[in-house]
Structure 1
Amino acid sequence: MKRMSLRKGLAVLAIAAACMSATTVSAAASIDYHIWSLQQPDGSTISSSSLVSGYTSNYFYAASDGGQAFMDPNTGSTTSGSSHPRSEMREQNSGGGNAAWSWSGTNTMTNQAAVTLQGGGSSGSTTIGQIFNSTDSIPLVELEYTATPNSQGGNFKILYEEAKGAGTYTELSTKAALGSKFTYQLALSGGTAAVSINGSQVFSKKPSFSGKSFYFKCGNYDQTATAGSVSTTPYTIVELYSVSVVHN
């Protein structure tokens, strides 16, 4: 039997280790969980340190295609001021506390996502990303997805709200079939809020106020799920493959 040299044997072991590592990488390795906490439909909040350590649950797990899955059941626990349960991440600062940044400068969140299951039938809609007004505790911008095309023929709409209860919707013509990947960006830069999908800006608005604080949210905040007994039966599933937040 021909013996393998020590050098060649070490090289083979290194390649094998690399292949094993590549097949065991956790879901959505390009998400920096250090700057996120997780709100779940069972009423629990999961810290960034737990997410970094590999936390999983029925509502937050590695999908078969490598995405980070956020599952929302038809009914569940709700947060203060909301009538809908959620499986959604909330931005944290580097010290582990809740982020709250000024709208000056450049603030962007760019995510690759897919909605793989949509509850609610033709009226189903889920919020996949938010710029949240921390000062007034209301969303400034919500990007929502619906599997059923809207009146513009697209699968997205935007809620824009400068004052509580005074939000308006803008339906978009941008298409993304259920299960297909797309990239979206929410930005509040130079005092202007903007939304882009697949590299094209689809919405822009300059708020009339100033001096407020904000943070990003992303995941699955289902707009047709309701408060009630929590279950583990999937109703809507959103997957995130990458999340990138920039503040300058």
Structure 2
Amino acid sequence: MSGPATVLNLANWKLTLPTGQEGEPEEIHPPALLSFSGDWFRLNDTGDGVVFTAPAGGVTTSGSSYPRAELRELDGGELASWSNRTGTHTMQLREAITRLPEVKPHVVAAQIHDAENDVLMVRLEDTHLFVEYADGEGEFTLDDDYQLGTPYDLRITAQDGRVQVAYNGEVKGDVALAGEGWYFKAGTYTQSNPERGDAPDAAGEVVIYALDVTHTP
């Protein structure tokens, strides 16, 4: 049976779903993830992408009020944790954002995170696709008129105490950010909930067509 694992190599990822008990969402780890498919994580109709859907009324983690259907990087089955002060750490993905909540149309589609907070986020707000960093104090635009469903190529490179982001092959930002305990995330992190006025079934949705992470010493 074909499923998400036929498109993406999921051996070094775990999946957090918008289901489960409040504060303790369901997680799917390898090897179970390699054959998993469901309402919030499934192959698209054309069989060339994986659809991540997170409804505004979904279960959230204890540290967030927003739901997610999102992959978190692993390293040999353990939680990945690295520093961009040494080595080169790169995530490349091809994805499309296909759906936004109606009232607060905001979605995060890729991240670098650390043990406590996000380091850098790729966000869509209405039609503004941009990178937010430094706890929202810094940002730069990837596309100021993004149209839902348009695939794009993203490359995030963290090295030498900096993070560079390229969009469709063009470097859009190169910022001084350094830290440790970092890891990559990709999928749908819907930035709304019913308290923001959205219906419980209003959702963010991202389709990932290709995903690759490399680390070099």
Choose between structure 1 and 2: higher helix proportion: 1
Q: d(CA) in 1 for partners of 2:140 and 2:163?
A: 16
Q: Say which of 11, 19, 30 aligns to 1:34.
A: 11
Amino acid in the other structure paired with 2:168: N
> Do the aligned partners of 1:76 and 1:227 also contact (CA within 8 Å) in 2?
no
Q: CA deviation at 1:25?
A: 4.9
**Contact conserved, 2:187 with 2:208, CA < 8 A, in 1?**
yes
Report the Cα distance in structure 2 between the residues aligned to 1:183 and 1:232, rounded to whole angstroms: 31
Shift of 1:80: 2.4
Whether the 8 Å CA contact 2:113–2:182 is kept in 1: the answer is yes
CA distance in 1, matches of 2:194, 2:89: 32
Instruction: Note the C-alpha offset of 1:30.
Output: 4.4
When the two structures are aligned, how many residues end up with a matched partner?
Answer: 206
Distance in 1 between the 2:195 and 2:81 partners? Answer: 28
Superposition RMSD on alpha carbons, in Å?
2.2
Give 3-state SS (helix, strand or coil) of 2:67's partner: coil
1:61-98 C-alpha deviation (Å, 9 max, x unpaired):
1111221000111212111221101000000012x111
Residues 38 and 232 (structure 1), Cα distance of their counterparts in 2 relative to 1, 3 Å cut:
farther
| TM norm structure 1 | 0.76
Distance (whole Å) between structure 2 residues aligned to residue 62 and residue 143 of structure 1: 22
Say if 1:196 and 1:180 are closer, same or farther in 2 by CA, change over 3 A. Answer: same
In structure 2, give the amino acid aligned to 1:116: T
The CA deviation at 1:169 is: 4.3
User: Percent of aligned pairs with the same residue?
Assistant: 26
Q: 1:167 offset after TM fit, Å?
A: 2.9
Structure 1 portions without partners, runs of 5+:
1-23, 150-154
**Do the aligned partners of 1:28 and 1:241 also contact (CA within 8 Å) in 2?**
no
Question: Is contact 1:36-1:48 (8 Å) kept?
Answer: yes
* SS of equivalent to 1:172: strand
Q: In structure 2, give the amino acid aligned to 1:145.
A: L
Match of 1:168 in 2: 137
Cα distance in 1 for partners of 2:172, 2:90 equals: 15
Query: Is 1:241 equivalent to 2:214 in the alignment?
Result: no
Residue identity opposite 1:201 in structure 2: V
Q: What is the match of residue 100 of structure 2?
A: 118
Unpaired runs of at least 5, structure 2? 20-24
AA aligned to 2:122 is L
Displacement, 1:233?
Answer: 3.9
What is the distance in 2 between the residues matched to 1:143 and 1:107? Answer: 17
> Residues 247 and 236 of structure 1: is their aligned pair in 2 closer, same or farther, counting only changes over 3 Å?
same
TM-score computed with the length of structure 2 as normaliser: 0.86
Q: Is 1:144 aligned with 2:123?
A: yes
Counting strand residues as a fraction of each chain, which structure ranks higher? Answer: 2
CA contact under 8 A between 2:154 and 2:168: conserved in structure 1? yes
Partner of 1:205: 175
Structure 1 residues 80 and 37, CA gap change in structure 2 (3 angstroms): same
Match of 2:89 in 1: 107
Note if 1:127 corresponds to 2:96.
no
Return the index of the structure with the highest Cα Rg: 1
